[in-house]
Amino acid sequence: MAKYEIAKLIQDSEKAQGEEDIRIFLQKINVFLNDSPGHVRLLFARAELYTKQQKLSFAINDYKSILSKDESNKKAAIQIEQLQTILKYQNIDIFESPNTNFDPWLD
């Protein structure tokens, strides 16, 4: 796989808008990742596409893969923390339970 092709794919994927565009770029990135599963830039691009689709758990998995290759990657660590916070608040229904121990406004 040519570095130019990967760079172009990543650059184009950052501009993806709409479900169909995102799906197409995910397929293209997955093809390249099959050949080179640890490619950090491709994992970042795919994680960003998953985030656009609101598939946050998939994005977190990609960021964790990046951290497994490079533990010092601060961007991946920050993204994991942010996405986990978003998932936490999406999964809390403050009106479902009177238990204020889990009130997100008191965090």
- Structure confidence by residue, pLDDT tens digits, 21-77: 999 999 999 999 998 888 999 999 999 999 999 999 999 999 999 999 999 999 999
Answer for the pair 79, 63: CB distance below 8 angstroms, yes or no: yes
More confident residue, 2 or 94: 2
Residue 83 has what pLDDT? 95
pTM (two decimals):
0.82
What are the structural domains of the chain? 3-94 (1.25.40.10)
d(CA 80, CA 66): 11
Q: Helix 3-14 to helix 19-35 angle, to the nearest 10 degrees?
A: 150
